[in-house]
Structure 1
Amino acid sequence: MTAVGTTGDLTSAARALRSLLGERLCTPDRTGFEAARRVWNAAVTRQPAMIARCADAGEVAAVVRVAHDAGVPLSVRAGGHDWAGRALRDGGLVIDLSGMREVTVDPAGRTATAQGGAVSIDLVTAAAPHGLVAATGVVGGVGLAGLTTAGGYGPLIGRFGLAADNLIGADVVLADGTATTAGPDADTDLWWALRGGGANFGVVTALRYRLHELPVVLAGILMFPLAEGRAVLNGYAEIVAGAPDELTVMAGFLPGPEGPLAFLCPFWSGADLTAGERAIETMRSLGHPIVDQVGPMPYAAALRMFDAAIVDGNHYLLRSRWLADVSPPAADALADAAERVSSPYSALIVNRFHGAAARVDPGATAFAQRTAHQAIEVIAAWQPGQQPGHPPAQQPGDSPDRHRAWADSVVAALDPVAMPGGYPNLLGPDDDPRARESFGANLQRLLTLKRRYDPGNAFSAIPALVD
């Protein structure tokens, strides 16, 4: 594979791909290219040379072979919920899986197979009529492939583990265009790498998941005045320290109509809803909730709670740290950050890692950080600016500098109490050393497998995996 940064023979690649895909090859001179180029984070402005909208795994393999032979750099767009722009490469070829979202469920075997472009809500919706759920993230629009291959924190993590812990197989197109199936009985090295090593080894065209019986969850959101944020976080830390597997709680600060509000978002996945209600009543007592929307609901409904805060078309910049717990200094740092937020759209999220996920052997999957911890998301979000007298195409937008400064100041305040590493999906292109730390003792095996499966670094979702 031609080294990253070159464009290869784009002319011959375009000719071959036009013959293969017809109008499903998007180029800058064609109507619809800008829409096809757009990802969730509108701050991403990378300009690929071509976008190949694939309909099935066979087409993916053919597109990869064309790129391989022409020396054209690749990137992969799966769910498109991409804050760092990894789905797009300037001057390169995007393999677009967004048309591949089919999910099939085997109710008797409690398994599901999702195509590589499927998003979390696709899987959850397909499983729901059978009283089954999958371990996903908390936002329904997040792509399954990107979520799962990096790990996949979510509201069922305590009871059922990471999304990656529930991956029982995958179909992958490798860098030379060959297809392979990875799982416990086939290509076990690749299966190991896909569960935490990110989308760095090939194009994942299908994922097979273990499903779980769970007809209803007790879930919702409690929101408190900003002034009560420290007390809420300190109380949260005490509650989750002794929480059972069935109780996973998110916490932090979300945008409110008049400024940030502290929040707790409990998910009780146990059969005894009365026990869950007692735990949630304890959370209510941490302050004076001004929003109290907690109750039994289908898991699919729970995934829609954060949709209003995750807006397509905004500009986003993320930072992240791992914490052993939300200690008083960490609570102070987060509350202080909320009080001086640079945008009314920004948020601070605390994700709990515990229970079933924390009982997996660190060497069993590429995801290595298996001690109980908190993953902190610092989400700087802002709208493109508007100025009178400028047509939309010439609007200058809000400079990202002050939002970046705010996000950087938050993680700097957390650094004295942070653990090494961090969740790779939340780390940016300047965080390679931290990303490498996140793999711990698994790093060398990952590097060896990267050299075996993708020696030319055709797939570079996590650049830290390149020697």
Structure 2
Amino acid sequence: MTGRGYTEGVTVWNGAVRHRPAIVLTCTTTADVVLGVRTARDRGLPLTVRGRGHDWAGRALSDGGLTLDLRPLHEVRVDPGARTAEVGGGASANDVLAAAGEHGLVAATGTIGTVGMAGLTLGGGYGPLAGRTGLAADNLLAAEVVLADGSVVRTDARHDPDLLWALRGGGGNFGAVTSMTVRLHAIPSVVTGLVLYPWHQARQVLERVREAQHTAPADLTIQVGAIAAPDGSPALLVLPTWAGDTATGEDPSGPVQALTRLGAPLLAQLEAAPYAAAIAGRDAMFPDGRYVTIRTRSMPGLVNDVIDVVERFGGRLPTPLSGMTLHHFHGAAAEVATADTAFALRRPHLMAEILGIREAGEPGEPVDSWADAASGALAGSAFPGGYANLLGPEAADQLAGVHGDNLPRLQRIKAAVDPDGVFSATPLPMAAPEPTSGGAPASVEDQLGAGHGRGLG
């Protein structure tokens, strides 16, 4: 299939992705999604779902398959009284924040705004508000899902709660999410920005960030990483987000402004701003079309071995566009019990995002080798598995550990709603099939057995 619509449908954030589906179905209604799912099943075509196309591994597309393009389903409807938003399956984080911001509300999102809200949420959703609001997945209240047989279900705390549990961190492996209801939060403004330190101060600053993260209140989430300074030299980035009282965030003696005094900064720009503006303002750092490879590990914190790795690999970035960032997981996100959502790693930790980025035409091997080596160097300090939204097919040693003790329950739910593996988004090893008899039951909990499906435990 060719043409302008097709070209737009297969053009995704990572310019290195070259998958070419046979059909791109532009979905403007849930009925279109149902048609696409049934067509793919009838014709034996691989089926993929495209939200905003920001998955670096290109899983929104498959060669010779059928892609459901959900981008037209980007409407966001806010209920300010209930502090919730109904979010279309193709909406970006910017779409959600713009609509919520009209009512003085925000949603839990990732670090930039062009990412699809559904994909981010289904895989977990680390972000600058994690300490205050939890993960994006923790704020998922309900969803409309087209299942592998083409049926449409609405899942919430009372209806098919096992499916809702799976969607909170289990990825897009259970169906096509055409809309979600997400919780919103009253955070009029945040204090955020960046502090940049010269690389020769990296170890000192990281040791001090370690203490700051250890004592940080829930309102303060501190991202840290290695990037290229304007002159191309490596620099240590500290990116805090304060979601509490603005006066405290701006207080020179407070915990936010103290992050400008961890060394002698090259640059310190922290200010109060609407959260939506802060997130949208970072989009220019990650434009479409560059060639991207990502590796990820999750570690207990900035232990000495982790600092050694950041110092070693952050000091020799393979390109000026590449970098390494450590996402801060604490506060509200760490207070959720492991069994309460499919997202399993609930103890305080850092999630490393190792970004190898190059322009088209630049050699890929040095970037890939650097990313692989950095990931390997962190492995000894890391928990099993990793962040599902960032793990690519090369991370075979990590895939089995992604969901920890939650994997068996996820596999049972997968077998109930998609036994043939029609949907495959983020890593989820399939369980061996069990004998079945009779027709399809009406709900997920019916298929899982009486007494199991009514709780999130």
2:316 alignment partner, one of 323, 330, 340: 340
1:354 alignment partner, one of 321, 324, 330: 330
Residue in structure 1 matched with residue 245 of structure 2 by the alignment: 271
Residue in structure 2 matched with residue 402 of structure 1 by the alignment: 366
Contact 2:19 2:62 (C-alpha < 8 Å) held by counterparts: yes
**Structure 1 CA distance, aligned partners of 2:391 and 2:57?**
8
Letter in 1 for 2:192: A
**Structure 2 CA distance, aligned partners of 1:150 and 1:92?**
23
Is 1:169 aligned to residue 142 of structure 2?
A: yes
Aligned residue for 2:383, secondary structure, equals: coil
Q: CA RMSD in A?
A: 1.3
Contact 2:190 2:246 (C-alpha < 8 Å) held by counterparts: no
**Structure 1 CA distance, aligned partners of 2:4 and 2:110?**
34
Deviation at 1:430, TM superposition (A): 2.4
Deviation at 1:268, TM superposition (A): 0.7
Residue in structure 1 matched with residue 262 of structure 2 by the alignment: 286
Residue in structure 2 matched with residue 415 of structure 1 by the alignment: 379
Contact 1:446 1:465 (C-alpha < 8 Å) held by counterparts: no
Contact 1:79 1:145 (C-alpha < 8 Å) held by counterparts: no
Deviation at 1:272, TM superposition (A): 5.3
Letter in 1 for 2:371: A
Residue in structure 1 matched with residue 120 of structure 2 by the alignment: 147
Aligned residue for 1:363, secondary structure, equals: helix
Q: TM (normalized to structure 2)?
A: 0.91
Contact 1:77 1:98 (C-alpha < 8 Å) held by counterparts: yes
**Structure 2 CA distance, aligned partners of 1:433 and 1:196?**
20
Contact 2:297 2:375 (C-alpha < 8 Å) held by counterparts: yes
Mapping for residues 289-438 of structure 1, pairs under 5 Å? 289-385=265-361, 398-438=362-402
Deviation at 1:168, TM superposition (A): 0.3
Contact 1:353 1:375 (C-alpha < 8 Å) held by counterparts: yes
The structure-2 alpha-carbon separation of the partners of 1:276 and 1:184, relative to structure 1 and needing over 3 Å to count, comes to farther
**Structure 2 CA distance, aligned partners of 1:347 and 1:339?**
10
Mapping for residues 173-252 of structure 1, pairs under 5 Å? 173-252=146-225
Mapping for residues 28-43 of structure 1, pairs under 5 Å? 28=2, 30-43=3-16
**Structure 2 CA distance, aligned partners of 1:361 and 1:273?**
33
Contact 2:98 2:276 (C-alpha < 8 Å) held by counterparts: yes
Residue in structure 1 matched with residue 428 of structure 2 by the alignment: 464
* Alpha-carbon displacement from aligned partner over 1:206-253 (angstroms, at most 9, x marks no partner): 010111111111111111112222222111111000111000011001
Q: TM (normalized to structure 1)?
A: 0.89
Deviation at 1:463, TM superposition (A): 4.2
Deviation at 1:71, TM superposition (A): 1.7
Deviation at 1:433, TM superposition (A): 4.3
**Structure 2 CA distance, aligned partners of 1:159 and 1:68?**
42
Residue in structure 2 matched with residue 451 of structure 1 by the alignment: 415
**Structure 1 CA distance, aligned partners of 2:239 and 2:427?**
33
**Structure 2 CA distance, aligned partners of 1:273 and 1:421?**
40
* Alpha-carbon displacement from aligned partner over 1:251-292 (angstroms, at most 9, x marks no partner): 001232222321111111112532563112321111122221
**Structure 2 CA distance, aligned partners of 1:164 and 1:107?**
20
Residue in structure 1 matched with residue 43 of structure 2 by the alignment: 70
1:128 alignment partner, one of 80, 101, 122: 101
**Structure 1 CA distance, aligned partners of 2:50 and 2:409?**
26
Letter in 2 for 1:266: P
**Structure 2 CA distance, aligned partners of 1:284 and 1:80?**
36
Query: Structure 1 unaligned runs (5+)?
Result: 1-26, 386-397
Contact 1:433 1:464 (C-alpha < 8 Å) held by counterparts: no
Farther-moved stretch of structure 1 (279-288 vs 130-139)? 279-288
**Structure 2 CA distance, aligned partners of 1:462 and 1:109?**
31
Runs in 1 of length 4+ with deviation above 4 angstroms? none
Query: Structure 2 unaligned runs (5+)?
Result: 432-457
* Alpha-carbon displacement from aligned partner over 1:410-467 (angstroms, at most 9, x marks no partner): 1122122111111011111122442331211100011111111111111111243323
Deviation at 1:311, TM superposition (A): 2.0
Contact 1:248 1:266 (C-alpha < 8 Å) held by counterparts: yes
1:51 alignment partner, one of 14, 17, 24: 24
**Structure 2 CA distance, aligned partners of 1:140 and 1:105?**
18
Aligned residue for 1:308, secondary structure, equals: helix
Contact 2:173 2:428 (C-alpha < 8 Å) held by counterparts: no
* Alpha-carbon displacement from aligned partner over 1:51-105 (angstroms, at most 9, x marks no partner): 0001011111121112122222100101211200100101100000011110000
Aligned residue for 2:74, secondary structure, equals: coil
Contact 2:223 2:240 (C-alpha < 8 Å) held by counterparts: yes
Aligned residue for 1:186, secondary structure, equals: coil
Residue in structure 1 matched with residue 442 of structure 2 by the alignment: none
**Structure 2 CA distance, aligned partners of 1:439 and 1:36?**
31
Aligned residue for 2:262, secondary structure, equals: coil
**Structure 2 CA distance, aligned partners of 1:296 and 1:239?**
20
Contact 1:270 1:276 (C-alpha < 8 Å) held by counterparts: no
Contact 1:368 1:442 (C-alpha < 8 Å) held by counterparts: yes
* Alpha-carbon displacement from aligned partner over 1:319-363 (angstroms, at most 9, x marks no partner): 011010011221121121122111110011010000111111100
Letter in 2 for 1:458: V
The structure-2 alpha-carbon separation of the partners of 1:243 and 1:300, relative to structure 1 and needing over 3 Å to count, comes to same
**Structure 1 CA distance, aligned partners of 2:215 and 2:136?**
23
